[in-house]
A and B are shown apart, each in its own frame.
Chain A
Amino acid sequence: MAQAVVHVEGQQHPIKLYLWVWGWLFILSACSYLVDYFHFQGYLRWSLILLFMIIKAGLIVGVFMHMAWERLALVYAILVPPVAVLVFLAIMVFESDYTLLTRLTFFGAGP
């Protein structure tokens, strides 16, 4: 098996890699701005926004924060706990739907 690179003195990567990621972050930000500029609506808008957001977050965490080169013991310790946020998100979606329903029922018509 290939041996992983030893980083005795911190992480060393070519500057070119950072510039490349920087460029992609610019392109992806411009893309998400254009989603708004061209007034995409509905599921197309939301899925594009989330797609660009996730790719940008991945590039920042993976390359700029060097997560791609860390041992799995650290990667999982940091990246797995935020999954709990998704559970919380699901709970709050149900909660807010219920709140909206009661408001519409008792306070009359909304949007």
Chain B
Amino acid sequence: MAQAAVSDNTGDVRARPAGWAGVAADWSSDQRAFKEVPWGKAMMWVFLLSDTFIFSCFLLSYMTVRMSTTVPWPNPSEVFALTIAGTSVPLILIAIMTFILISSSGTMAMAVNFAYRRDRVKAALLMLATAAFGATFVGMQAFEWTKLIREGVRPWGNPWGAPQFGSSFFMITGFHGTHVTIGVIFLLVIARKVWRGDFDRGTRGFFTSRRGNYEAVEIMGLYWHFVDLVWVFIFALFYLW
């Protein structure tokens, strides 16, 4: 049987079965099911799973109203076009927002890496860059909302077609934008701790009074990548479909 060396919570490393046999072994007989994963990270994954269901419900309800309406759906390619230097470029703002969010995911992934290497200045700077990208994204979203509201888009109607367009748009992008905003705040909090060296000295947290460590950066990263992941689905299913 395939074996893998796995460290448990106490730092002991011992051989455990890999593959399917490992799934059965890890889940059985009164033990931590998730080996090699700190509890905070496992809890973040469980939270993200529940968030997946929330966003899935939004996207499914969007699909349902779009499939069942007898009125033509507004063409997102034209609705989200911007006029740049006299020519109308379709969907350009959304494309730029997508690239910004992907870049923020890239800097976040590197921040996690540097954090585990105890390079706290680089990790903090990369997290600040991530927060800056995130704030830019939210700013562009505010611009997009303002533009659409000025053009007459409301949750109950719009000038171009099916009234459900507005409610789906505000609900889905609004909920996603809220997630990005919370992520930016979360990033600034953790970046400050990394910068001060709280995780090197084992300083106790303000709210929890527990000693933090660099796993916090990876947990933060999981949340941030999830926000990017949700945007991948919104971009494909709402803006491009």
Contact = CB atoms under 8 A, between A and B. Distances in A.
A68 interface: no
Contact of B90 (A36, A85, A93): A36
Interface in A66-96: 66, 70-74, 76-78, 81-82, 85, 88-89, 92-93, 95-96
Contacts of B113: 12-13, 15, 18
Contacts of A18: 106, 109-110, 113
Interface in B1-33: 2-7, 11, 13, 18-20, 22-23, 26-27, 33
A71 B45 contact: no
Given A36-B90, A64-B109, A73-B23, A7 B232 contact: no
Contacts of B11: 8
Given A29-B95, A100-B68, A110-B71, A73 B45 contact: no
Interface in A90-111: 92-93, 95-97, 99-100, 103-104, 107, 110-111
A73 B68 contact: no
B182 interface: no
Given A19-B106, A57-B232, A103-B70, A74 B37 contact: yes
Contacts of A70: 36-37
Interface stretch (B144-152, B169-177, B222-230): B222-230
A18 B241 CA distance: 29
B49 A6 contact: no
B126 to A, nearest CB: 11
B60 A88 contact: yes
A45 B77 CA distance: 13
Contact of A3 (B4, B35, B91, B233): B4
B86 interface: no
A28 to B, nearest CB: 9
A25 B116 CA distance: 24
Given A3-B3, A36-B77, A8 B13 contact: yes
Interface of A: 1, 3-4, 6-13, 15, 18-19, 21-22, 25-26, 29, 32-33, 35-37, 45-46, 49-50, 52-53, 56-57, 60-61, 63-66, 70-74, 76-78, 81-82, 85, 88-89, 92-93, 95-97, 99-100, 103-104, 107, 110-111
15 contacts: A4-B18, A7-B7, A11-B218, A25-B102, A29-B235, A32-B240, A36-B240, A46-B241, A49-B240, A49-B241, A65-B221, A71-B36, A74-B34, A81-B49, A110-B70
Given A12-B116, A22-B103, A103-B68, 18 more contacts: A3-B4, A4-B18, A6-B5, A25-B106, A29-B98, A45-B240, A53-B233, A64-B105, A64-B108, A72-B18, A73-B26, A73-B27, A73-B35, A82-B49, A85-B60, A93-B63, A96-B68, A111-B70
Interface of B: 2-7, 11, 13, 18-20, 22-23, 26-27, 33-37, 42, 45-46, 48-49, 52-53, 56, 60, 63-65, 67-72, 77, 90-91, 95, 98-99, 102-103, 105-106, 108-110, 112-113, 116-117, 214-215, 218, 221-222, 225-226, 228-229, 232-233, 235-237, 240-241
